[in-house]
């Protein structure tokens, strides 16, 4: 997750630098005096050019923020807890609100069969309706990590428990 975040921050360097440059130009036009032999006064030149540079400053700031929103959100979600529930797994077929590539839904139910969380499933074979008891490990952002100790593929099999030691691999 950090690789993706830092990769996107490298992409966001360009609009951030442009934001700083255009911001400095705008501030320079407004706050610093012109040379004594200039044909326009400071305010005349600022009224003409400063709004253009100011608009460019806002555009580059918006672009830098837009580039970083998704990876920052994903990085923050990695700090969300991982839950282990001794309950049920429910799978059901797609409904009319399903995405085109969805083959149904998978949900985690608690011991009282109340839905804790549900995620769309993607695949070629449509799921059938069913509920089965299971020990489920999941996170709200990442989906179901394992069912009865068997990985669902959300995390790779080689991934260390709790991520401890993953950097050395």
pLDDT per residue over 12-53, tens digit each?
Answer: 999 999 999 999 999 988 888 777 887 877 777 788 888 999
Interacting residues of 96 by C-beta distance below 8 A, sequence separation 6+: none
Element (H, E) at 10: helix 2-31
Partners of 91 in beta bridges: 106, 130
Work out the angle between the directed axes of helices 42-77 and 2-31 (0-180°, nearest 10).
170
Instruction: Give the model confidence (pLDDT) of 55-111 as tens digits.
Output: 999 999 999 999 999 899 888 877 878 889 999 999 988 888 877 778 888 899 999
């Amino acid at each position: 997750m950090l690789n993706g975040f830092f990769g996107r921050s490298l992409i966001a360097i360009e609009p951030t630098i442009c934001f700083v440059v255009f911001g400095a130009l705008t501030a320079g036009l407004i706050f610093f005096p012109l040379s004594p032999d200039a044909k326009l006064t400071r305010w005349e030149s600022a009224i003409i050019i400063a709004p253009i540079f100011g608009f460019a400053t806002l555009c580059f700031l918006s672009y830098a923020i837009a580039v970083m929103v998704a990876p920052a959100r994903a990085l923050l979600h990695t700090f969300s807890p991982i839950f282990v529930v001794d309950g049920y797994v429910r799978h059901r077929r797609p409904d009319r609100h399903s995405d085109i590539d969805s083959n149904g839904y998978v949900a985690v139910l608690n011991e009282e069969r109340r839905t804790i969380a549900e995620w769309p499933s993607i695949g070629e074979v449509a799921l059938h309706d069913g509920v089965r008891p299971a020990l489920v490990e999941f996170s709200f952002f990442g989906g179901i990590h394992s069912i009865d100790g068997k990985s669902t593929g959300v995390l790779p099999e080689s991934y260390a428990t709790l991520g401890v030691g993953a950097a050395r691999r």
